[in-house]
């Protein structure tokens, strides 16, 4: 999609496949699409688009994996195609199999080096059943995280050349046994931030507490050079009469951190009073904060759509923080009034806190 001179879009040819198709990323201005047609995971079809979707070229990439492999996911790391897979070998049947990463050259589609063992339960000491790959905002770094239902995970940070900058286990330092892991974000410097929460009540990340129940939010940062990790915790209600919605957090372009959440003034009134935004340094030391009241025009629109007795937004979800230049960022929030999303409108904030 091109927005430079008005919206335009290109539609490429249909990729006919009974398997799983994934757009895994971009390498040297080439988009890479991976197709897994074989249930035995012995080969992949790779389609590369260089100068538009009409120029796609599909080639076959042999997996050449040992044991009884199971394809997990793929990404573009270090200008290569990185495929992650489990290998059910002797001694691992019925248990948690090891996880490997095999790199492939984006041009020849041949393996680059040997497969790297990323996770082994016997060595790493926890049950890893999930794997995620995220990128820094400038795409110069990639984070591979392996985790499960325990308060422990394994984190690996790669640079643009594919070198491993950090490879260590991470343990959530929290006294709550009911900790719910939410996700990671990665700074342009390769530093890591993890978010988690806990509550004694029934709760999940999709919605904030509607009954004023207590929720603990945790933010952890890891400096990959020093290995030091810091912890920030806050609890909703933040004071006797202010309850928070679920927050969003993001590294900014200059290495600082922005955290934002909607707030409610009483537990009996579900209307969002406004949005709280705060800026922290990489060690989670507070630098600045500000409360932004809800826009009166959008409050009026919300009341007209929902015809509710409350005065304001009863569901205002913090979607994401988009880093801009320096300390600037855009906070994207979504207002919706019922669980099946009949209507939706968006409010955009563009603030640089100094």
Give the pLDDT confidence of 98-147 residue by residue, as tens digits: 899 999 988 888 889 888 999 998 888 888 888 899 999 998 999 999 98
Alpha-carbon dihedral sign for residues 56, 58, 59, 62: positive
How much is the pLDDT for 50? 74
| H-only helix segments in the chain | 121-124, 296-306
Quote the CA–CA distance of 170 and 93 in Å, as a whole number.
Answer: 27
CB atoms within 10 A of CB 276: 19
Quote the CA–CA distance of 168 and 159 in Å, as a whole number.
Answer: 16
- 10-residue averages of pLDDT along the chain (354 residues): 60 70 82 77 80 71 77 87 80 69 89 90 86 91 86 90 91 72 91 86 53 80 90 84 86 95 73 88 94 80 62 73 93 67 42 30
Q: In the 8-state DSSP scheme, what is residue 55?
A: G
Q: Per the confidence metrics, is the pTM higher than 0.95?
A: no
Beta pairing, strands 344-352 & 30-36: unpaired
Quote the CA–CA distance of 235 and 264 in Å, as a whole number.
Answer: 14
How much is the pLDDT for 5? 58
How much is the pLDDT for 85? 87
Among 56, 8, 12, 6, smallest CA distance to 31 is for 56
How much is the pLDDT for 55? 65
Got the DSSP string for 287-321?
A: EEEEEEEPPHHHHHHHHHHH--SSSSBS-EEEEEE
Q: 């990665």: which residue's tokens? A: 186
CB atoms within 10 A of CB 226: 8
Quote the CA–CA distance of 221 and 219 in Å, as a whole number.
Answer: 7
How much is the pLDDT for 340? 41
How much is the pLDDT for 325? 92
């Amino acid at each position: 999609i091109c927005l430079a001179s008005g919206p335009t879009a290109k539609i490429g040819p249909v990729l006919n496949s009974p398997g799983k198709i994934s757009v895994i990323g971009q390498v040297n201005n080439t988009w890479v699409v991976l197709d897994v047609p074989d249930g035995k995971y012995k080969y992949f079809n790779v389609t590369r688009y260089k100068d538009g979707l009409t120029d796609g070229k599909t080639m076959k990439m042999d997996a050449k994996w040992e044991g009884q492999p199971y394809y997990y996911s793929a990404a573009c790391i270090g200008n290569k195609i990185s495929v992650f897979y489990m290998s059910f070998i002797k001694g691992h049947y019925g248990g948690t199999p090891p996880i490997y990463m095999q790199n492939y050259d984006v041009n020849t589609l041949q393996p680059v080096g040997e497969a790297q063992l990323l996770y082994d339960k016997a060595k790493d000491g926890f049950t890893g059943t999930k794997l995620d790959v995220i990128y820094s905002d400038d795409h110069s770094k990639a984070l591979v995280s392996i985790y499960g239902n325990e308060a422990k995970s394994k984190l690996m940070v790669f640079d643009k050349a594919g070198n491993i900058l950090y490879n260590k286990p991470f343990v959530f330092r929290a006294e709550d046994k009911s900790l719910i892991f939410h996700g990671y974000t990665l700074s342009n410097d390769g530093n890591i931030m993890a978010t988690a929460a806990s509550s004694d009540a029934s709760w999940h990340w999709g919605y904030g507490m509607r009954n004023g129940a207590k929720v603990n939010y945790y933010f952890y940062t890891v400096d990959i050079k020093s290995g030091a990790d810091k912890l920030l915790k806050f609890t909703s209600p933040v004071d006797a009469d202010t309850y928070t919605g679920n927050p969003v957090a993001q590294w900014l372009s200059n290495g600082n951190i922005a955290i934002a959440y909607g707030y409610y003034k009483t537990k009996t009134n579900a209307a969002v009073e406004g949005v709280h935004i705060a800026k922290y340094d990489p060690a989670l030391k507070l630098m600045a904060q500000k409360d932004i009241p809800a826009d009166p025009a959008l409050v009026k629109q919300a009341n007209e759509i929902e015809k509710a007795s409350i005065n304001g937004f009863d569901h205002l979800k913090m979607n994401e923080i988009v880093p801009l230049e320096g300390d600037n960022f855009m906070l994207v929030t979504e207002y919706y009034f019922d669980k099946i999303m009949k209507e939706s409108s968006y409010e955009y904030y563009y603030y640089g806190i100094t």
